A and B are shown apart, each in its own frame.
Chain A
Amino acid sequence: AQSVTQLDSQVPVFEEAPVELRCNYSSSVSVYLFWYVQYPNQGLQLLLKYLSGSTLVKGINGFEAEFNKSQTSFHLRKPSVHISDTAEYFCAVSSAGGTSYGKLTFGQGTILTVHP
């Protein structure tokens, strides 16, 4: 079984400030890791993913995340946020192989609010 914990339910920041959204996971097998963003009244959009290789992955809209296997974490960062980054962010995992067939297990979400 897998689980994902997003350590902050809400993160308020000012425009142009850096932000970090924290995600820890638990799994007995190797995993793939994802960050999705959900804007109000919309579906989920993939920001970035870690499958293998370099532990620092870059995504869309200036976001990046670092996979830390020893700490089972996959924190999302952006050096300078914009008002348009206000949204809910979800961390997710899927099993790398086995019989999961790709189903995603999501964290509870972090609402990022960017203030002017």
Chain B
Amino acid sequence: ILNVEQSPQSLHVQEGDSTNFTCSFPSSNFHALHWYRWETAKSPEALFVMTLNGDEKKKGRISATLNTKEGYSYLYIKGSQPEDSATYLCAPGRDNYKLSFGAGTTVTVRA
């Protein structure tokens, strides 16, 4: 099992504020890192798939960075909006097959 830790477990953000949170994983045998957004009562949806050390990806106000040498990825939300409220899951993989998730960071944006 690839140990993955997401921190914090939950956070509350005021609307308009920016925030970030972490996905940590063993740096050995790294293959790719997935980020998914999971809204309440819905299915998870992919945000990013990242592979290269130093990689940065962006989708609207959400962006992510990857450090494969030290084994972490940051997800940033700029100018949080209520619709950003969700659980954000990361899944680091040692191969291109198995997809196993961390426990997630639950973000609540207060209006």
Binding partners A and B: no
